[in-house]
Structure 1
Amino acid sequence: MSQQTSDPDHTPARNGLDYLSVVQGSLPHTIGPFSILSVLGEGAMGRVYLARETNPPRDVALKVVSSHSRTAFERFQREVETLAQLEHVGIARLYGAGVDASSGQPWLSMERVHGEDLARHCLGQATTLKSRVEILIRVCEAVGYAHSRGVLHRDLKPANILVDPRGQPKILDFGIARLKQSEHEGLTLAGQVLGTLPYMSPEQLSGSKQADDVRSDVYALGAIAYEILSGQLPHPRLKTSTLFEALSIVRDEQPIPLQQRNSATRGDLATVVMTALAAEPERRYGSAQAFADDLHRVLAHRPIEARKPSAFYVLSRFARRHRALTAALAGVATILIVATIVSLRFAVNAEEARSLAAQRAAEAEATVNFLDDMLAAANPEQTKGGDVTVLSMLDASAQAIDALQAQPLVLIRASRTLSRTYLALARFDQALMMNKRALTALRTVNDAPVDLQPELLRERSGLELAAGNMEAASKSLDQAASLLRQPSTESAKESALRLNYSRARLLEETGDPEHAMQSLQTFLQGANALPEDDRDVESAQVSLVNLWRQAGHLKDAMPVIEGLIERRTKRLGERDPRTLNARLTRVGLLEAEGRFEESAAESLALLTLRTEVLGPEHVDTLTAAQMLSNSLLRLGRAREALPHAMAAAAGFAKRFGDSHAQTQASLVAIAFAYEETGQNDLAEAIYLRLIASQRLNASLHTESLSVRNNYAMLLHSQGRDGEAVAQLAELLPIVERQLGRKHPYYAIFQSNFGLCLGASGNIDQARNELDEAIQSLEQAMGSDHERTRTARDRRAALDTPTS
């Protein structure tokens, strides 16, 4: 709550009669020892009044908490404690605090700052570049002082910094500040996101523990500096984005370099600001004071401490974050070198050897030139000092790929590599474009392998499937199948066999698990001639295990996945992504068996490994975070689960959209965590949003069926059993239609239906539903399973007289 209302984030909080009294012009006459003059500002937690104090006589900014929640009161108390420790010319002073005797409302009185907010002051007046930098220095020094007293502000923005008529900035609003080593640490839940989106660091947006670091405030200072020096936010889209969108924007998009926004900042000043604004905390200044010191050096024309990223750093950062692409590019060159050796070794005669060698040499030279051009995209001179991203390199390579037209087979190989890498980054349009480029180039090859076109079409089907274009995916698969109806070579026969695996993936994603299992079994039965470590074979085994898990066939599934883990560990090592993928599939089985302590421990280990190996935003890392949140929730550890569920939801929403099954599963986990932490309004809002989106889909992914069930159980916990019964009555026919009455999900939801029916007074129907659910659960999960025992307890409760 600032002392003025220019901040668009601080719109009036419409809280019942209290709000109506303000808009009608009836202010309280007094609060505590103060006479109320007017309203200065308002936020969700309360209001700031202009008030007059009689002893000593002065005008003050009087902050009053209007919320009666314990959390609001404790945050208010923390702000008082925080401000009491701070005495600095750049921070609005605390005068006193107390509680109004008549209303019981807590208040604090602060220095009344006359002035306008920092952005309005710097951008609305004819201020010079030097004067703006001088104000920035004073702001940084004030924040540095707070840091030296163990205080993190966590909501720095221009609206919370007023500039008085003398040009002195004053920092306001320490409402969500944090004291290091504070006994109030529990007031901020793990994963809770507090702050204003355009000025929040990536770690603050994600709810990470790293947000409790002075470098998060340094990031906000960098964003403020960027804005007042250029007139624009570093990420303008953050003004209107959701939290999930914001996290993706800050993590994945680079701000336009400051010098391109304002050429007067070119050189050291731009370097200093962009250093404070670095996405990675370790690349920012270690303190606000260090930021201020470098700004001083800029004005004094002395050498600065910050430096632009070196070419080595840019390239090594690219290679570290995108190992798959780096390995793939190296693989293309290796394949061509090996092909040259093999051609020379087995040529029928010297003339043929010379011809083949010349051909392979031309292909190798074309590949080397292409790779050279691709890596040239990482040259800092080409990128104008900005960080190189995988997308910038891919895009540059995609534009240069026509240079390979003289070597169409090389062009096809390169296009397939680019297509697969775009797919890994969820850039589906570009991936499909590269696949189309390969298919176009294939028309110019006279002696292409007979299976190359159907393989490209099969890959296209997978791309369409990943993009959610089910009809297009089916069409591409049908085209590939039509080319392989009568395969004439062994490689064509193998391609025809692999179509069964691709068909199974499509069936699974379109909600037909029964036929998906049939296609997988057909593929695996015919794959005896393929190597045991063939990727499609192993992926088919994983898919089959997941389908068995969903169908409740746990005894069949566990031996298969444990055997795969053992083979991959021996062949690939413990840290290989394929080994980790198999281990995560086993986590799903552990959860299904109710072994939550084991699943949580394994999920945490996998999340750590996947973050190290693949990076925090890879879809496999996000899946590990999602699985960990699920296990923690089942163990009753909702606060620990929440940040992992939020990170997963943000990542999946960015890659696949809000309607994707994994996005929805993560949102369900967030809602459940909110329930467990008493934030039922937030949980209900998520459930209703998901249910509304699901009504548009004729068929739902298996994991998405739990949304309505979880919402019904939330309603039950609030005593709204009539509404809960209506939700479950609508859900059960959908589950029966998609999965059948014998599926474990039907039995679980039916048990919940019986519970809610009993609670709403329909005892006879409740008994019938629970009797059927118990029988189904015993068959699917065993008589000792937790869910079976719960259903039996519910049934027994119906026959127990109530006093």
Structure 2
Amino acid sequence: MDALHWQRISPLLDALLDMPPDARTEHLAVLRAEDPALADELQRLLALEAGDAGFLDSPPLQLPAGAIPGARLGPYRLERLLGEGGMGQVWLAARADGLYERKVALKLLRPGLADPRLRQRFDREREILARFAHPFIARLLDAGIDQNGQPYLALEYVEGEPITSWCQSRQLDLAARLDLFRQVCEAVSHAHANLIVHRDLKPSNILVTPAGHVRLLDFGIAKLLDVHPLPVEQTRTGVRAFTLHYAAPEQIRGEPVTTMTDVYSLGVVLYELLTGSKPYRLKRQTDAEWEEAILDGEPVRPSQAAAQADPEATRPYTPARLAHALAGDLDNIVLKALAKRPEHRYVSAEALSQDLLCHLRGRPVSARGQRMGYRLRKYLHRHRWAISATASVLLVLLAALGVVAWQAQRALREAARAQAMQRFVAELFQDAGTSANTPIDLRSLLDMGILRGERSLARQPQARAELYGVVARLRLGLGDYREADDLLQRQARLLAVLPEAPASLRLEAATLRGNTRQQLGNPAACVAFMQPQETLARQEEQHLPLPAAAFFNQLGRCRHALGEDATAQHLFARALALRQREGDDAGVAETTLNQAQLQADSGRPATALATLRQGLARLQKAAGPQHPQAIEMLRTACAVERTLDDLDAAVGDCRAALGLAQALHGDNHRATIDANRQLAALYLDLGRLSEAETIFLDATAWLRARLDPNHPDLARAYNSLAITAWERGDIARALRLQQQAVAGWRQSGNTGLLASGLFNQALILHGAGRDDEALAPAREALRLRQTGHQPGLVGDSQRLLGEILWARGEHGAALAMLEAAVRATRAGFGPDHSHTRRAEIALARARALQGDQGAVLRLQRLAQAHGDSLEQRKAAWLARAYAAALGCAQQPRQARLALDATLTDMQLALPEGGALPREVQQLRARCGAPAAG
């Protein structure tokens, strides 16, 4: 069978094979009336398939010859098949001629479609498509015909997901979907400006990258295929170079295509993106039914399709809510794009995108139905000359008067508010300097400011609302989260009765309140407060880019705290784009920091570290080497390196953060105190107990003089001192301090910090042999951590609880808990992390104590598995000590020698001792005295 004949018959055979027997018979009857020979041949092929289901495994036309992994086509080497269709195949290929290295998507056309003049056409098409330089279009890199006559196209290889499935899997809201779709319109408009019509727009040709950017594929392919087109019959038996479900009526009729043909296809994609379904409802899914629907059928209104949809397909909305959101503007926009006649559609993809932007901003759209308002406009148009003169004069006068009155009223309000605020601040500081012989501290001054403001600004509620926000922001900086929350609640009550309050004040209020609720450990409340204002932020992001960016950034932090990482990433990306556009260097650094924290918490610490390094370099280049935001970025890098067991690098970054804080703020500033405390925690890991304790004592004294007794930051200081005391062996002091930390964190409501405090409390009690007391805090810590989204921390709690249960003699429950700990730490930290090793060591020891010789060997292997990191070496020492202690009964002398050698190694690295050397010393003591001589 030759290529041309197979090209004609193959899609018809595929369609018949997909039909039930009754539909096949009916379809063949229709074909037989048009082409009896073709129908007979198809019937013979169907009979062959019935007798041998594998007869089509080797097609009569090989597609294309020689296309196997490793094969060479022109300068490219094929690696793996990406996809296959009626016109050819798409391969992942690499440049193989040594000129440069690049992965490409190599499209191989069927040899039967080749033409002696195809190379000339390829060259001309390559020149046209080379003009594309758009971020949302996958570029055509090369085109040619190899030495065997095989035509190929080399395009930019895009790793992405079709736009419809990308949006559905992430449950994006309508605004986010429309933003993505407007990227598609922008790409199509760019192509149209370069005199290229796509002709085959569909979701599989519109990919979204992991970063959330659109890439449009397959530009120019239809042109390549129809330069000298094969005869296309005006029936369903013809060969098509487009996808039927997304084709415009003029394509079905075989009429010339225009840019408005692409507008129709965009309308189908938009319909599917919004509703999850196609525009037409068919009784039978046949090509004939589709052609009839596209040519003559009326599409179902998107809102009606949404109301009847499966609830799973409309997430994150319910069908009723989605139908309500689509009714009106979006219904009209989509149906205008799907108009049967090209002249009734949008004149361009850009016009479609502009209407969508108007909808997003709450402005009128051009797509309107023929209702009373439409007929009234027609009437006015017919009598425009008689009406226009009078209407114009009246309109100008009314508009001028309205604008002048509005501006005057607004100016008076703003002036009065500014004067009131200025007078209030002046009087406040005047009283602060004369009202007492002793200086007033900042908190007292803020309390005085609120009392005076409520009196002096009693008749200016908007100014009073702004005052609450300013003082709340200062309270947040001091760590007074509950006081800040109380002020913001008062502000919210004022704003509820101030419909004229500016959007900037509403956005700042929502951002502050969300931040406060997050600091209090309640991210769900943060989202509940902020979510109703997200529409306002999207509407105002062009006019108020920095307040909108701060809003998106804070909402992203709260979404991240709830484990909604995909939504958080989208919000961070939106905030970053606005801040980059406005040149807000500090804001860009803040959002980059949040993105890195998201990456670290989702199990990608190496990626997080790279993001931090790049963000810090950009900040230092734009704002100089001593920007305050760099302190927090260096501290976060230090924390990430600590989780990676890279203590040396962590110490370097923490010292850099401390040095910068001292240079910018001096020694007596909160930023310096916090950086120094973080460095002290590293000293504790390194066994430098005296240095760590000195820093912790100084920091605690500084915080105690400035914070409430149960402040969460003071509780953090008590926690650090407790761990230091435990490392030194002062169990009574460690427990007393740890109980203070737990009490402070429990009162603050921050479940993450409370879980850490309870974990440390159980750790100290377990180390002291008080396992009955350790059981309750260990179980509560595990329960709290299981409500979060950090499997590594869950695994740590499971490991500690398993060790406590084993010590209590509950061996079955202990083994189950230790096995779960190994799985969780591997998932959260990775297979080679020190925390994973500690879980594996605890499990191996428990099994070895039950007589499992395989577990003994496992302990010995873990004793040898360590790298350069001190934390890895600590795990290896513990495994070596456990393995040696197992031999105390049978080979006491060898066991004691091994334990003594382990203690010697530990003393060299940890001269001040610590909890781990103390545990090994206890094992050594239980093994007995060394033999005489």
- TM-score tier after normalising by the smaller chain length: 0.3 to 0.5
| TM-score for the superposition, normalised by structure 1 | 0.46
Task: Considering Cα pairs closer than 8 Å and 6+ residues apart, tell me whether 1 or 2 has the greater RCO.
Answer: 1
TM-score, normalising length from structure 2?
Answer: 0.41
